[in-house]
Structure 1
């Protein structure tokens, strides 16, 4: 920690402690009590309930700032949906990633019909303001309905084998779902996964495609951007 203490308005703990707690929770498969223990080892005594409130308050905000810093997405988008069981009901998590593995957006919905697919497409285009050259999906026909109406100029390929990039991006979600003992509501799942996808992906470049030096450079840059986007003014 630096000697220059900063704070977020209305919070008594230094901003560096709060953003570090948010970073720990979203980047690693930790519970709020795990984060509480890690902070206690560093001499920071804070309850897991306070950490929960920090993650609710700042996780979405930090993710939105990082999302604005992302480069223009690739022109090939992979889309996939996976089921989530929430309070005994089936919901579907829609996810889109580009050819570089960057998560573009997620949306939790009750259905996976044409209307749900069109809602997901519209959300993607509204947030990104870019249109893909090609989209790759599995065999779900709802994607074709949405593509013909919303992205008629994009080439649409359906293949369960070409869509591994989107399917693999569900793995961090499954790990967190198990660790959290399932999501408690659709709203909680949407709020957490929207923030988690951006924060987790920001610090997880495709390491297997980089040399050691390139990876260290990407990691250092990720930390610089994180600190810059979560900074605050020095408290008076």
Structure 2
């Protein structure tokens, strides 16, 4: 059974406004001030600071609820890491997706050595609660060293050309990173990207494989799911 939507007790704005602002911020490369402006055009007066607080409070809860509704992850995991700038320093964003492109987890770390790879492997196994059939990575040696300790019975394929699935999954993050002009802290980056990686893919079906009619039908379903996890669907109909 799906968990109940988060509580909005104490918030003077209706849930439709809150969920819509969180959706705008995570779905499109917008700043909090730009979300404020879009809402003003719709006749809703809300400050960018209020939007920021809503995203911080509800973004991860929405992302978690969407993940609980996802199908069981596939048995082939693609792992990749890319550098990101945080307050002028180089950090690394580790990402894992399955063969269908579903994001399994992300982790921001300061290194890309064996210890970092080991930590990501362990985090994945604890979160997914299963062991894959195959793990696909690039040729970074840290993966192989950590793999032999954490999941030695799992096949490991290390090949640059096989890992396009994970590399392509980084593209929305790159787009968002540019729009935000980088991240200010490691913790802030982890919190935002954890929510972003749960919300953004929900609204990004593989459109290039669909007809226009099929895409619209799929998006209608996904918006309905969003309304359910945010609590909008439980509201009485307007008269």
TM range (shorter): over 0.9
- Once the 2 structures are TM-superposed, how far is the Cα of residue 131 of structure 1 from its aligned partner? 1.6
- Once the 2 structures are TM-superposed, how far is the Cα of residue 210 of structure 1 from its aligned partner? 2.7
Alignment of 1:8-27 (within 5 A): 8-27=8-27
Alignment partner of 1:161: what SS?
helix
Q: Does 1:152 align with 2:159?
A: no
Alignment partner of 1:108: what SS?
strand
Q: Does 1:82 align with 2:78?
A: no
Aligned CA RMSD, in angstroms, stands at 1.5
Q: Distance in 1 between matches of 2:23 and 2:210?
A: 23
Q: Does 1:59 align with 2:62?
A: no
Alignment of 1:1-236 (within 5 A): 8-231=8-231
User: Residue by residue, what CA displacement relative to the aligned partner does 1:7-27 show, whole Å, maximum 9, x if unpaired?
Assistant: 811110001100000000000
Larger CA deviation: 163-172 vs 144-153: 144-153
Cα 1:14–1:183 shift into 2, 3 Å: same
Q: Any unmatched runs of 5+ in structure 1?
A: 1-6
Q: Distance in 2 between matches of 1:145 and 1:175?
A: 32
- Once the 2 structures are TM-superposed, how far is the Cα of residue 50 of structure 1 from its aligned partner? 0.5
User: Residue by residue, what CA displacement relative to the aligned partner does 1:38-96 show, whole Å, maximum 9, x if unpaired?
Assistant: 11111100111110111011101111111111110111111100011212221110001
Q: Any unmatched runs of 5+ in structure 2?
A: 1-6
Alignment partner of 1:162: what SS?
helix
Larger CA deviation: 15-24 vs 66-75: 66-75
Alignment partner of 1:106: what SS?
strand
- Once the 2 structures are TM-superposed, how far is the Cα of residue 150 of structure 1 from its aligned partner? 1.6
User: Residue by residue, what CA displacement relative to the aligned partner does 1:159-218 show, whole Å, maximum 9, x if unpaired?
Assistant: 111111111111111111111111000000000000001100011111222333432332
- Once the 2 structures are TM-superposed, how far is the Cα of residue 148 of structure 1 from its aligned partner? 1.3
Alignment partner of 2:74: what SS?
coil
Alignment partner of 2:139: what SS?
coil
Question: How many matched pairs?
Answer: 229
Q: Distance in 2 between matches of 1:125 and 1:224?
A: 31
- Once the 2 structures are TM-superposed, how far is the Cα of residue 234 of structure 1 from its aligned partner? 5.9
Q: Distance in 2 between matches of 1:62 and 1:9?
A: 16
